[in-house]
Structure 1
Amino acid sequence: MALRWFHAAERRSPAAVAADADLLARVADGDGSALRELYERYARPMFAFLYRLAGDRGTAEEILQDTLLAVWRSAGTYQNRSRVSTWLFGVARRQAHNRLRGIPPPLPADPADGAAPEAGPEELAVSGDQVQQTLKRLPLAQREVVVLAYLDDLGLKEIAEILDIPVGTVKSRLHHARATLRRYVDARME
């Protein structure tokens, strides 16, 4: 169930990693086709991550577009201290955080407003309404670490790098998130 793209990126050959860095350098130089190629490589996993954070397909799509705009504008700030995939994931996370800060995720669209009632493949991959409804109960900072740790199967160090926070903070957020989720599950079982 967990996304494996991040781990696959970690096992990519040095040539593939260098190719990503070259693409990002081309984006920094204003090459739109390089941005398109980065989008083709990373849009699916970034969308899946954003959907898990936002809980809504439309919001996740909007945040993904915001992410691409931010990548276009800030590609020149990439300093090759991490893999391009990690940097992109961090940009997506910051865009989601900016968009969702203090605002509860939107409720699913009402079919009367013309939204497609069936779930897309990315939504099915994150295993349905029960998980999304439970994740919505967490504050955004906790939701991020839960998604990265348990749904994307990343380690504490990787999560800390993506979120640009200390490993201890990741551990603390996971602890608080588990406690919140445990209380929610216990309340539902009563």
Structure 2
Amino acid sequence: MSIQQAQIELWVLEAQAGSRDAFSALCLHFYPSAISFGVKLCGQLPMAEDATHNALIRLSKTITRLEDPAAINSWIFKLVRWQVLDIIKHESRYQALQPSDLQQVTAMAEDDSLTQAIASLPKIEGQVIHLFYLEGLSAKEIGNVLEIPTGTVKSRLFRARERLKQALVQILEQE
């Protein structure tokens, strides 16, 4: 276990005991990656921000039910995913971006070939790649977040890697 992971688990335990400072530290730590994952899910920063805020509010109400502090990573990403799905379901004013639009938004935000390539992947494969490589979640944790079996995560990760290689080659050939 890394020192950072130990600190996160300590914050979880302190937050469960009622420490507002520890809960704030958790929120500050996970906010950037939760927003990033939210954007990956829905393609829109405002919706991702709303979903992340809602997820953190939900976390404040449910953190005492988290039995294993080490599971906080997947717990937060799952909450963000649920909130994005709820917003999409209940608010028709949000329209999902087309994959080509998402590529442009991502390219403008970071102008990075890898980010562009990830954005070009099919939705579920992009989510698996994002969670595995950018957020460092295990296949089991990703399965928990996306509510799919670990074997399915592994097969999607394999397929996503192949498509990611192809997308990177295309992007680099264009440059």
Is contact 1:149-1:159 (8 Å) kept? Answer: yes
- Alpha-carbon RMSD: 4.1
The alpha-carbon distance between structure 1 residues 78 and 145, as it changes in their structure 2 partners (threshold 3 A), is same
Q: How does 1:10-89 map to 2 (within 5 A)?
A: 11-12=2-3, 15-26=6-17, 29=18, 32-80=20-68, 82-89=70-77
Structure 1 range deviating more: 36-45 or 91-100: 91-100
The alpha-carbon distance between structure 1 residues 35 and 20, as it changes in their structure 2 partners (threshold 3 A), is closer
Shift of 1:129: 7.6
Q: Provide the residue aligned with 2:104 in structure 1.
A: none
Secondary structure in 1 matching 2:3: coil
Corresponding position: 1:159 with 2:139: no
Shift of 1:185: 8.9
Is contact 2:140-2:150 (8 Å) kept? Answer: yes
Give the TM-score of the pair, scaled to structure 2.
Answer: 0.64
Count of matched residue positions in the alignment of Structure 1 and Structure 2? 162
The alpha-carbon distance between structure 1 residues 32 and 105, as it changes in their structure 2 partners (threshold 3 A), is farther
One-letter amino acid of the structure 1 residue matched with residue 142 of structure 2:
I
Is contact 1:160-1:170 (8 Å) kept? Answer: yes
1:58-87, Cα deviation, whole Å (9 max, x unpaired): 122111111111112222221126332332
Structure 1 range deviating more: 36-45 or 173-182: 173-182
Q: Which of 95, 103, 108 is the aligned partner of 2:83?
A: 95
Q: Provide the residue aligned with 1:3 in structure 2.
A: none
Is contact 1:149-1:155 (8 Å) kept? Answer: yes
1:111-146, Cα deviation, whole Å (9 max, x unpaired): xxxxxxxx6xxx4287688346514xx24x433213
One-letter amino acid of the structure 1 residue matched with residue 50 of structure 2:
E
Secondary structure in 2 matching 1:165: coil
The structure whose residues are more often helix, as a share, is: 2
The alpha-carbon distance between structure 1 residues 169 and 83, as it changes in their structure 2 partners (threshold 3 A), is same
Q: Distance in 2 between matches of 1:186 and 1:35?
A: 43
Q: Which of 134, 138, 149 is the aligned partner of 2:120?
A: 134
Secondary structure in 1 matching 2:70: coil
* Consecutive unaligned residues in structure 1, runs of 5 or more: 1-9, 109-118
Report percent identity of matched pairs.
23
